[in-house]
Structure 1
Amino acid sequence: MSRGGALPDLGVGLGYRSQLHNRILEHATEIDWLEIITDGYIHDVRAREQLEPLRERFPLVPHGLEMSVGSKDPLDEDYVRAVAAVADAVDAPWVSDHLSFTRDHGVEVGSLTPVHRTYDHARRIAGKAQRVQEMLGRPFLLENITYYVDLPGELSEAEMLSEVMRHCDCGILLDLNNVAVNAANHGFDPYRFLDALPLERVQQVHVAGNSAAQSQEGFQFDAHDAEVSDEVMQLLAYLLLRQDVKGILLERDESFPEDFSEIVTDLRRARRIAAREELR
């Protein structure tokens, strides 16, 4: 990544959710940075202004849902400009979104949908991602998603992500919980998956956990509703032995614990792994 060397080392952070607002401030010394969901602030200037107290305490990184770089539609440059305004407002070191599509041929899909894995489409996605990065004026990272139907294509998931990176100088946001869920559902080795990626492009990592209720007849679902599993933490340790990253981010989206120490425990464990105090 051409500008990767300029990115700050943020440490271990937490995905900002309004339900956790007060407890985040109460435990600010345990949290190095926050990731905000970009789309919650694009059309709501008042909500953006409410980020100011957080910005005074934490670096803020926008993470989006609707860039839809995997669509065959033209890039929505008005949307990119709106994302850029949020990033400018919080002085974000980078911006991220998903390697997926959420709309196609003008139709809203309503979910993060896997892309067709072909060489031609990889080049199209790379061109869009590069344009997004240029318009943002800061590094743009693409995240691997969870998918429940494995679409046939010329490339594996790891090959597709690698091929996109080969044609742009954007970075990767590597979601290790998504890797673990996909590996379980589609029968591949998550460590071999990591080995197949251009790890030097990984700038940020997501870790999360799923409760036992998110598994049905051996099929797993991605919910971010529990403590981070040992499996995901072991993947983090494996990755960090091979590649340093600029930020590790804990996601919790549902079943927020009454006792915030559950989240603090995950943050501290990730920090120990980053410090090589826990190694695989």
Structure 2
Amino acid sequence: MPEALPMRSAGLGLRRALIDALIEAPAGAFDFLECAPDNWIGVGGGLGDKLAMLSSRHPLSCHGLSLSLGGPDPLDMAFLRKTRDFLERHQTALYSEHLSYCSADGHLYDLLPIPFTDEAVRHVAARIRDVQDALGRRIAIENVSYYAAPFQALSEVEFVDAVLREADCDLLLDVNNVHVNAINHGYDAHGFIDAMPTARIASYHVAGHYDEADDLKIDTHGTPVKDAVWGLLAHAYRVHGVRPTLLERDFNFPPLPVLLDEVQRIRDLQVQPA
């Protein structure tokens, strides 16, 4: 297995629109990069060479998009084999996926929420265990943002905790998703963070969101991180400790130095989480 990311490390999402700027970035500008293997498996030519160059220079984490952990369709074992090959080839330090589903008789091209029920816990946890067996590694699952809430016999906190225990996997704690869900669904974001199991938190994500209204936030990854989310990340550090933390940005890219300023803000909080 590749060496784990240092607890005190700050990363940036590897997006194709940024790849040339990332290659030219000054040494030490970020501690690791994260990509979605789903978007890179089978990519060759110049782009494949650039990815290989970056992964040889910098630790790489991976964040999956299409395993559909909560879905009804059988797991795509051929894709899992390709994912395992990708992770091993690039010496990926951490692999995570979303606690959601994205397929039902074919891909739906969205990350959809899972009902918070005991039956869903058993279903998702069994699939996560199968994924871990197929990949030959422990994975982390990410708490997701959602806008329509399916049947909820359990709270979101209870559901996430139950899946983690039943699957024996780790958590990628996305603090922007916590903030967005807390506003949209009327719960306390700090209380949610407090209730997460410290020992299972492998890493954090931060990202920007769109303020549709005072009571409606949209998780876009297309804007700078809001002050409230920075505050929530600092709170998570105080409660659970510093972990590798990624800045996600998927579009509306500013010049790389602007993104690196946000990466530096992560580093500043990791030194003095206040």
The one-letter code of the counterpart of 1:88 is E
Aligned partner of residue 236 in structure 2, secondary structure: helix
Distance 2:214 2:115 in 1: 27
* Superposed CA RMSD: 1.9
Alignment CA distance shift 1:244-1:208 (3 Å):
same
Deviations 1:47-69 (A, max 9, x none): 54432110121101121100101
2:250 to 245, 250, 253: 253
Match of 1:21 in 2: 19
The one-letter code of the counterpart of 2:37 is T
Distance 2:116 2:72 in 1: 13
Match of 1:107 in 2: 106
Residues matched between the structures, number: 270
Aligned partner of residue 96 in structure 2, secondary structure: strand
Distance 2:93 2:168 in 1: 16
Deviations 1:205-235 (A, max 9, x none): 1001125xx4246411111112111111111
Q: Confirm whether residue 242 of structure 1 aligns to residue 239 of structure 2.
A: yes
Q: Confirm whether residue 73 of structure 1 aligns to residue 73 of structure 2.
A: yes
The one-letter code of the counterpart of 1:22 is D
Q: How does 1:121-136 map to 2 (within 5 A)?
A: 121-136=120-135
Distance 2:102 2:226 in 1: 28
Aligned partner of residue 145 in structure 1, secondary structure: coil
The one-letter code of the counterpart of 1:264 is L
Distance 2:25 2:5 in 1: 25
Aligned partner of residue 97 in structure 2, secondary structure: strand
Aligned partner of residue 183 in structure 1, secondary structure: helix
Q: Confirm whether residue 221 of structure 1 aligns to residue 218 of structure 2.
A: yes
Deviations 1:120-155 (A, max 9, x none): 211221111112112212221111111011222211
% same residue:
34
Residues 62 and 86 in structure 1, CA contact (< 8 A), matched pair in contact too:
no
Distance 2:196 2:240 in 1: 11
The one-letter code of the counterpart of 2:226 is S
Distance 2:113 2:186 in 1: 17
Deviations 1:71-112 (A, max 9, x none): 1222221221111111011011221110100012x2322200
Distance 2:169 2:27 in 1: 30
Match of 2:83 in 1: 83
Distance 2:203 2:243 in 1: 6
Match of 2:193 in 1: 194
Alignment CA distance shift 1:186-1:28 (3 Å):
farther
Shift of residue 17, structure 1, vs aligned partner: 0.9
Match of 1:12 in 2: 10
Match of 1:52 in 2: 52
Aligned partner of residue 200 in structure 1, secondary structure: helix
Q: How does 1:127-276 map to 2 (within 5 A)?
A: 127-211=126-210, 214-216=211-213, 218-258=215-255, 260-275=256-271
Task: Report the TM-score when normalising by structure 1.
Answer: 0.90
Q: Structure 2: where are the runs of 5+ without partners?
A: none
The one-letter code of the counterpart of 1:18 is R
Aligned partner of residue 227 in structure 1, secondary structure: coil
Aligned partner of residue 187 in structure 2, secondary structure: coil
- Bigger mean CA deviation after superposition, 37-46 or 263-272: 37-46
Alignment CA distance shift 1:195-1:217 (3 Å):
closer
